Structure 1
Amino acid sequence: MTDDNGPPDDDRTVFMPSGGGTPPIAPPIPAPPAAPPPGVTSLGTSFAPMAPRLDGDRIQVGDVLNHIFEVKRFIARGGMGEVFEGVNITSDERVAIKVMLPALAADPNIQAMFRKEAKTLTRLSHPALVQYRVLAQEPQLGVLYIVTEFVDGANLSDVLGREKADLPTLIGMLRCLAEGLRAAHMLGAIHRDISPDNVLLEDGRLDRARIIDFGIAKDLDPGSKTIIGDGFAGKLSYVAPEQLGDFDREVGPWSDVYSLALVILAVARGRNVDLGGSFVDAIDKRRKGIDLSEMDEPLRGVLAAMLAANPAERLRSMDAVLDLLGGGAAAPVLPREPVKPPPTPLVATKPNGALKYYVGGGVAAAALLGTVGFIAFGGGGGGAAPEATKPAAVAPSVSAAATARAAVTTVLPTVGCSWLDVTQALTTADGVTLALAGVAGQPIQAEAAVSQAVQKTGASVASVDFAEVAPIAAEACSSLDAFRAIRSSDTTTHLAVPQRHFEMSKLSDGEYAGKIAARTVLNLTLGTDVKDFALYGLDPKGIISPLIENAAMFKAMEKPGFPVADLGGGKYRIQADADAAGWSGILLLTGTGGFSDDLVATGAGARSPEWRKRFADAAAKGGWRAEMVWFKMVDELPN
């Protein structure tokens, strides 16, 4: 195990995870004003105090860092620093402590990079990823270190060949690690060093593989650097060709795809792959292609698609890997025709064959399936429902928060691959606090753009909360950018959700009666300014499916038992039931009509620059305007 992690950009800064949002920044815990007796913390926990030493920037077994983490034993030393086993003295949790080399920790460029990376690393949460706890500085020793959960198990590189892995085990391992890397990629970070050295096997089991050492993870901005610059990063035998300078150095999620395939190949062969040598040899071996003749189908075909030397011909994302394995999220399916209650159930499917909607017994249940699962539009128009809401208008004010909100709202249309709304702007003693909601393909860059917009107003940024910003796949970027170009202003809000999260529980009626599902609500306001409109379902993989194709179809659904309830005054409620947790989005297009499913709901691969021009031309001709909401189904309470 090597230590590939580094310090934050601000001395005495601690990054703590906060359950998926941007980790709060706080100073390290100083020694209390009135020192406790030697060997006892202010909490009454005994430990061995650190004695003065000549090498004050090195830690030793027995040290207690920040009065929290006791160093128990040395594990390994690598090019980036040292790794120790430790324990949280207040919770008894075993942890891994990775201490950066002083020379690296003193580099301001490294500090700046790791301040940004800490926000990503502490947000990573997946069974296939080792969980990062905190990035901190020890005030007495001055060392910078990162704490992760401790995984009790063998390193994959140490067990290659000990046990023959069968085909189901290999496929399961590939699916598990691909899902973990997908979670990292969707937060804007790529690993760049996927190799057997960076995979731990919990309890020595291949089906409990965990990825470690995201310390050289690089955000998706091609201009950003790693701790060793723009050059090589990773193990020579396992990196992708573009990491060696081939194919114009086009590094991205597809680079991890290549490396992951080599790891699975090494497990199948029971030995490391032989793709090293000199840089020239390594590049040449990759261009010649990888021999997969010993692999069985269907794994051989999946690995071949992952190991194309040219990144443009390779599977471009972990989503694509999972889809090819048959383990990806299902594509959404929504009704393509006005719903009419027939005497017997009607089943309609999307052209891509993904799901259906059902109508029968005089009660309609239009269903859509996104990455979040099966969503069935519920019946019933009775009962009050929250009205559609607009973002609160900012009253004329010279407050820092009002100025910051205006500045951020102005810059958001320029943030590529995103759809974001400012949901809160407050002035605090430490500066402006902002909260946003929506989706972003590169959350780190989006957050940086927001912070820079605020700073340009002369205000300081206390915090930017992205907890309600869902990551979205790169395949969705072209459509997001096209829709954002015709985005409606905040003063003309027609589509809203009363809340961002909908809790799942056992439903008593509807399509999922007796099953665990969430009952979601969409609020639609149709004023005289809306001549025609269409609704589309979205998912974080970039798939777009038609839901309501025009106003005429919507009118046909305004009947008792149908999912549309007329609340009066041009306000409507659309109720939907969802049976799986996750994010889902709705796109509303308004204008003079002519909405074409073939134009809007195209496959992600069909959204070329030519498509964007056709969409822009149609939008200009029809006076189209776009609105979008995202919400999440969660299962957090006992059912």
Structure 2
Amino acid sequence: MTGDDQDRTVFDPDRTVFDPAGIGADQGAGGATSRPPAGGTAIKVGDILNHMFAVTGFLARGGMGEVFVGANVITDERVAIKVMLPALAADPNVITLFRREAKTLTRLHHEAVVQYRVLAQEPELGVLYIVTEYIEGTGLSDVLATLRPSPEDLGALLRRLASGLAAAHALDAIHRDVSPDNVLLPGGRLGGAKLIDFGIAKDLDPGTATVIGDGFAGKLGYVAPEQLGDFGRTLGPWTDVYSLGLVILAVARGSDLGLGGTLVDAVDKRRAGLDLAAVPMPLRSVVAGMVRPDPADRLRSMGAVLAALDGAEVPGAAATSSLPRWWPAAAALVLMLLVAVGWFAMRSDAPTERTPSIAVAADPVARARDAIDAALPSVSCTWLRIVSVSPSAGGPRVALTGVAGNPTQAQTEIVRTLQAQGLTASAIDFAEVSPITQSGCAALDAFRQIRTTGRNRLSVPQRRFEMRTQTAGTAYEGKVAASAVIGIAIGDPSLDFALVGLEPSGAIDMLIPSRAAFAEQVRRSRDGLPITDLGGDRYRMQLDLDHEGWSGLLLVTGKGPFDAKVIAPPLGQRDAAWRTTLVQRAAEHGWQADMIWFRSVDDEKD
């Protein structure tokens, strides 16, 4: 270690920080009075570290170090002391990684994570150690079978842990071992749950590494498929999203999920899918979005999980939130923390196209786009897409398209999202956003709960189609109508799907009820229209419209059949019971929704 390194590990008693001490495994049979195994660290019970922390007992031995119980000799506060194993401490590179990890986590303060007290080096013994708060509590894994959480309790637990992980992700650290073993319940209370053992946290910068490298970390029972070698092995916030979903499912079931075994068994069990029947509605739809095997289809960030909780109106899920209900996305809380500490240069190494994320790019335009992407799913009575975000002297100019029940309120929420990043938009352009009636709001709010993440499966080459007199052989021969061209990209022939037409008035019509019916339309099409097979499960479809104004197309993918009473109920039948049924069916059959809006105009009238 260099002289500069020595200077940077000076004991700092005023610095408060966070990281569970990894108390999970190999606990001494005698509890805090047990001795560490032979060949352990250079410290022992009775030592005083930096004239500040008395070592009073041995707690546990983990993969990276040993954990002792101790006390602050000045304040008498009980603490946990984590010391690096000698075999690792002998490697300067490992020391650098240990310090880098601890320095990252010491910036994190959240009620749902155990707090660091200090990272220090004992000058006489030469050991590097971390001091954390000591939690007197029960491991979640030890009480799974005895818990009987209400839907409100389960929703509050998910929100609490997701919020804590969102704060960690905002510092570019992922946990990679979220499991019941690493959740402590102070006083046995589910509502006070705290995440522990970020000892395997990984910097999201692909140019960095951790003590255990970039490969598998964590227990087989709760890791994400990408940690087992599937889907490119690329890890990120979405990895913790999957594991947290499994934890919530285990709590709902009251038992371990049995997803471990051999590596091959673990992979096969995840590919087979999960039974979510134990998770109460409407929380089930959120958990379903968290545990999709393919990271590209999964909720991509804890901000997206929190926004989904808001959108699903999970009972009790807002109880632990410090944000008002009007806040556009829980991801904004993370952004506010970044403003407070001056961290504005974060990034995501996701392997797919741009998706809503809590990671923040250095470029103001990219930052604005990411923040708005994360916020849109939670803006009530809307279905919006970004058209463009462009730079200007007064701040980014943002243009959107889609529909909104209250465009002014939607604009206000987007402005607040940008302000949370320290950005001021010079303009929020809603020129291509159509107002929708309150009758249409019920459908939008329901379908938004199952909105696909990570990809758009519907597209249009333009959002404005001119109405002209139609030629012979067309649907509106001799009449004035517009021909809208829609791109459809399913990309998975195993998925069934349905297409539904929508209008701002709230009218919904089932157009094509299944893949089989769609295939028949493709077969009947002439000259590539109205449906052309482009290959790769991609299609181009023409929709003829005999009315001016906005029209929408909804695509629902998943396991059929798609009951028209559930997918396209008439006006007057879209109550809370219908929304619950829709979300429940979506969770059971893996339904996901995408929507596109476009406009037919008659320029000849002007």
Partner Cα distance (2:50, 2:16) in 1: 24
Alpha-carbon distance in structure 2 between the residues aligned to 1:484 and 1:583: 10
SS of 2:424's equivalent in the other structure is strand
1:267 aligns with 2:251: yes
2:344 to 439, 448, 471: 439
* Superposition deviation, residue 220 in structure 1: 0.9
How far, CA to CA, are the matches of 2:453 and 2:364 in structure 1? 14
Q: State the 1:484 CA deviation.
A: 10
Query: Conserved in 2, the CA contact under 8 Å of 1:87 and 1:93?
Result: yes
**1:73 matched to 2:57:** yes
The corresponding residue for 2:423 is: 586
Aligned to 1:284: 268
Partner of 1:480: 364
Distance 2:123 2:394 in 1: 60
- The structure carrying a bigger helix percent of its residues is 2
Distance 1:77 1:482 in 2: 44
RMSD: 4.9
The residue correspondences of 1:572-611 to structure 2 (distance < 5 A) are 583-587=420-424, 589=426, 596-597=429-430
Contact 1:129 1:212 in 2 (8 A): yes
Tell me how far 1:210 sits from its aligned partner.
0.2
Between the aligned partners of 1:87 and 1:9, the Cα distance in structure 2 is 29
- The alignment of Structure 1 onto Structure 2 pairs a total of residues equal to 372
Q: In 1, distance between residues paired with 2:138 and 2:208?
A: 33
Letter in 2 for 1:585: G
1:87 alignment partner, SS class: strand
1:319 to 270, 278, 303: 303
Q: 1:599 to 1:102 in 2, by over 3 A?
A: farther
User: 1:233/1:81 Cα in 2 relative to 1: closer, same or farther (>3 Å)?
Assistant: same
CA distance in 2, matches of 1:245, 1:110: 25
| Residue in structure 1 matching 2:151, options 167, 170, 174 | 167
Following superposition, the deviation at residue 232 of structure 1 comes to 1.0
The separation in 2 between residues aligned to 1:238 and 1:177, in whole angstroms, is: 15
Cα separation, partners in 2 of 1:90 and 1:370, compared to 1, 3 Å: same
Which of residues 205, 210, 217 is equivalent to 1:226? 210
* CA–CA separation in structure 2 for the residues paired with 1:477 and 1:220: 13
Relative to structure 1, the CA distance from residue 588 to residue 163 in structure 2 (aligned partners, 3 Å threshold; closer, same or farther) is closer
* Alpha-carbon contact 1:72-1:85 (below 8 Å) kept: yes
CA shift for structure 1 position 370: 8.0
Q: In structure 1, what is the Cα distance between the partners aligned to 2:329 and 2:345?
A: 18
CA deviation profile, 1:131-151 (whole Å, cap 9, x unmatched)? 111122222222221111111
Pairwise CA distance, 1:536: 6.5
Aligned CA distance change for structure 1 residues 208 and 327 (closer, same or farther; 3 Å) = farther
1:211 matches 2:195: yes
- Amino acid paired to 1:137: Q
- The amino acid of 1:440's aligned partner reads A
Letter aligned with residue 172 of structure 1: A
Partners in 2 of 1:597 and 1:17 — Cα distance? 52
Q: State the TM-score, normalizing by the size of structure 2.
A: 0.53
1:58 and 2:42 equivalent?
A: yes
TM-score (norm 1): 0.50
Distance in 2 separating the partners of 1:206 and 1:232: 29
CA–CA separation in structure 1 for the residues paired with 2:85 and 2:143? 29
Q: Which residue of 2 aligns with 1:126?
A: 110
8 A Cα contact 2:238 2:301, kept in partner: yes
Q: CA deviation at 1:227?
A: 1.2
Quote the Cα distance in structure 1 between the aligned partners of 2:63 and 2:454.
Answer: 44
The whole-number CA distance in structure 1 between the counterparts of 2:16 and 2:50 is 24
Question: Would you say 1:85 and 2:69 are equivalent positions?
Answer: yes
User: Gaps spanning 5+ residues in structure 2: where?
Assistant: 19-37, 314-324, 350-355, 370-391, 400-405, 409-414, 434-450, 463-606
Correspondence for 1:342: none
Q: What's the CA shift for 1:606?
A: 10
Report the alpha carbon displacement of residue 473 of structure 1 after superposing the two structures with TM. 4.6
Distance 1:473 1:164, change over 3 A: same
Contact map agreement 2:398 2:429 (CA 8 A) in 1:
no
1:523 aligns to what?
A: none
**2:183 touches 2:193 (CA, 8 Å); kept in 1?**
yes
Residue 103 of structure 1 corresponds to 87
Distance 1:83 1:21 in 2: 17
**Equivalent residue number for residue 572 of structure 2:** none
Q: Give the Cα–Cα distance (whole angstroms) in 1 for the partners of residues 240 and 213 of structure 2.
A: 18
Cα gap change, 1:86 to 1:9, in 2 (>3 Å): farther
Distance in structure 2 (CA, Å) of the matches to 1:285 and 1:372: 31
Superposed counterparts of 1:293-372, under 5 Å? 293-326=277-310
CA distance in 2, matches of 1:190, 1:180: 11
CA distance in 2, matches of 1:253, 1:606: 13
User: Matched residue of 1:181: which SS?
Assistant: helix
Please list the CA deviations of residues 7-38 of structure 1 after superposition, one character each: whole Å capped at 9, or x if unmatched. x993572474877999xxxxxxxxxxxxxxxx
Other structure's SS at 1:136 match: strand
Partner of 1:194: 178
Structure 1 residue 10 and structure 2 residue 17: aligned?
no
Deviations 1:480-530 (A, max 9, x none): 355899xxxxxxxxxxxxxxxxxxxxxxxxxxxxxxxxxxxxxxxxxxxxx
Structure 1 residues 482, 152: CA separation in 2 closer, same or farther (over 3 Å shift)? Answer: closer
Measure, in 2, the Cα distance between the counterparts of 1:370 and 1:162.
Answer: 34
State the AA in 2 paired with 1:246.
Answer: D
- Percent of aligned positions that are identical: 55
**Alignment map for 1:220-259 (pairs within 5 Å):** 220-259=204-243
Q: Flag the 1:606–1:579 CA change in 2: closer, same or farther, 3 A.
A: closer
Q: Secondary structure at the match of 2:158?
A: helix
Q: Indicate the residue corresponding to 1:115 in structure 2.
A: 99
CA distance in 2, matches of 1:437, 1:228: 29
**Would the aligned equivalents of 1:476 and 1:604 in 2 still touch at CA under 8 Å?**
no
1:89–1:232: structure 2 CA closer, same or farther, 3 Å change rule? same
1:584 Cα deviation (Å)? 4.6
Aligned equivalents of 2:242, 2:64: Cα separation in 1: 24
1:428-577 correspondence to structure 2 within 5 Å:
437=342, 439-442=344-347, 473-474=357-358, 477=361, 480=364, 482=366
Q: How many Å apart are 1:439 and its aligned residue?
A: 2.2
**Unaligned ranges ≥5, structure 1:** 1-7, 23-53, 330-353, 356-367, 375-416, 422-434, 445-471, 486-530, 539-544, 548-577, 615-639
CA contact (8 A) 1:58 1:143 kept: yes
Cα–Cα, structure 1 residues 143 and 55, in superposed 2: closer, same or farther, change >3 Å?
A: farther
> Relative to 1, partners in 2 of residues 1:533 and 1:142: Cα closer, same or farther, differing over 3 Å?
closer
Residue in 2 that maps onto 1:40: none
Rounded to whole Å, the distance in 1 between the matches of 2:454 and 2:64 is 43
In structure 1, what is the Cα distance between the partners aligned to 2:87 and 2:173? Answer: 24
Give distance in 2, aligned partners of 1:370 and 1:291: 28
